[in-house]
């Protein structure tokens, strides 16, 4: 019998049973975790560092804040937030994938960042925190892998303090036709080949390319944040709209 629409979701371009997506995404990130940082630099030609720097600049994080770096992976944002919040603040590096969390923990501890960082394995749809806990929440290149994005956004809103802000850094849609064609060629030809060469895994990187195409565009994600309760939502495009940084506040 064919699954009803309510019981299916997208895994890249495939339609899969909703309750199986999380484990399928987990398999992808178990596979790529060890080479994740290297592949990030190669895939983006290092530009991901500029995207993340802009996210930090827009976060308003300061000394004493409590920050949730959701889907924080190997901890690029967490490292900088740890420095900004200082001894009286706290950063929670949260990720659903234990392999990514392990890589992030080892990297940050090797960098000497230990005092104000907590590591928690969690599902973005059901955040294990009290209401009004965090001053700032970030999710960078993670929302597109969440099964129920609306539920996750509502969960983020719940645990954010009044006056706090959410920042969503994610691949998005370019309206430049020439750039779109070039990006498609890169995503579906060079990216899987690079994944095969560096990480010995072309299929995971093919999924990642497909997941980018299936992610809501800028205006749709903005509307989803509005529906979740966020106010003064806006976004800025970077690199021609290949990436967008969305921001919303809880009042």
Is residue 168 within 8 Å of residue 51, measured between CB atoms? no
pLDDT (0 to 100) of residue 6: 63
Structure tokens at 20: 């199986």
Give me the tens of pLDDT residue by residue for the chain, a chain 251 residues long: 334 456 889 888 888 899 888 887 877 777 777 777 777 787 788 899 999 999 999 999 999 999 999 999 899 999 999 999 999 999 999 999 999 999 999 999 999 998 899 999 999 999 999 999 999 999 999 999 999 999 999 999 999 999 999 999 999 999 899 998 988 888 888 888 877 877 777 888 788 888 988 899 999 999 999 999 999 999 999 999 999 999 999 99
Which residues, in sequence order, are CB contacts of 132 under 8 Å at separation 6+? 159, 160, 161, 162
Q: Check whether 124 is labelled as a binding-site residue.
A: yes
185 belongs to a structural domain:
no
Compute the distance between CA of residue 138 and CA of residue 141 in angstroms, rounded to an integer: 10
Which residues, in sequence order, are CB contacts of 46 under 8 Å at separation 6+? none
Using a 10 angstrom Cβ sphere, with 0-12 exposed, 13-18 middle and 19 or more buried, the burial of residue 35 is: middle
Compute the distance between CA of residue 185 and CA of residue 150 in angstroms, rounded to an integer: 31
Structure tokens at 128: 């294990």
State the residue range of the domain holding 35: 21-174+208-249
Is residue 120 within 8 Å of residue 128, measured between CB atoms? yes
Compute the distance between CA of residue 64 and CA of residue 80 in angstroms, rounded to an integer: 14
0.75 exceeded by the pTM?
Answer: yes
Compute the distance between CA of residue 168 and CA of residue 123 in angstroms, rounded to an integer: 16
Is residue 244 within 8 Å of residue 236, measured between CB atoms? yes
Lateral strand order in the sheet of 90-95 = 117-121, 90-95, 66-70, 134-140, 160-171, 243-249, 231-238
2 belongs to a structural domain:
no
If one counts the domains in the chain, the total is 1
230 belongs to a structural domain:
yes
- What kind and span of H or E run contains 42? helix 36-44
199 belongs to a structural domain:
no
Is residue 205 within 8 Å of residue 177, measured between CB atoms? no
9 belongs to a structural domain:
no
Q: Check whether 95 is labelled as a binding-site residue.
A: yes
14 belongs to a structural domain:
no
Q: What is the CATH number of the domain that holds 145?
A: 3.40.50.150
Q: Check whether 189 is labelled as a binding-site residue.
A: no
165 belongs to a structural domain:
yes
3-state secondary structure of 3: coil
Q: Check whether 209 is labelled as a binding-site residue.
A: no
């Amino acid at each position: 019998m064919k699954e009803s629409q309510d019981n299916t979701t997208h895994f890249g371009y495939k339609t899969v049973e909703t309750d199986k997506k999380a484990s399928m995404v987990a398999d992808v990130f178990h596979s790529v975790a060890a080479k994740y940082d290297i592949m990030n630099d190669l895939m983006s030609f290092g530009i991901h560092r500029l995207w993340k720097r802009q996210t930090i600049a827009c976060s308003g994080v300061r000394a004493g804040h409590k920050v949730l770096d959701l889907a924080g992976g190997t901890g690029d944002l967490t490292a900088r937030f740890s420095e900004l919040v200082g001894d009286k603040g706290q950063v929670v590096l949260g990720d659903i994938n234990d392999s990514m969390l392990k890589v992030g923990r080892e990297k940050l501890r090797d960098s000497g960042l230990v005092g104000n960082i907590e590591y928690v394995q969690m599902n973005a749809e059901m955040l294990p925190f009290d209401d009004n806990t965090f001053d700032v929440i970030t999710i960078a290149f993670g929302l597109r892998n969440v099964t129920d994005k609306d539920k996750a956004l509502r969960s983020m809103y719940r645990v954010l303090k009044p006056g706090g802000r959410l920042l969503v850094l994610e691949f998005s849609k370019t309206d430049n036709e020439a750039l779109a064609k070039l990006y498609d060629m890169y995503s579906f030809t060079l990216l899987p080949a690079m994944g095969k060469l560096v990480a010995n895994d072309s299929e995971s990187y093919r999924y990642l390319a497909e997941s980018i195409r299936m992610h809501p565009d800028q205006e749709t994600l903005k509307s989803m944040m509005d529906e979740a309760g966020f106010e003064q939502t806006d976004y800025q495009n970077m690199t021609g709209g290949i990436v967008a940084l969305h921001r919303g506040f809880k009042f």
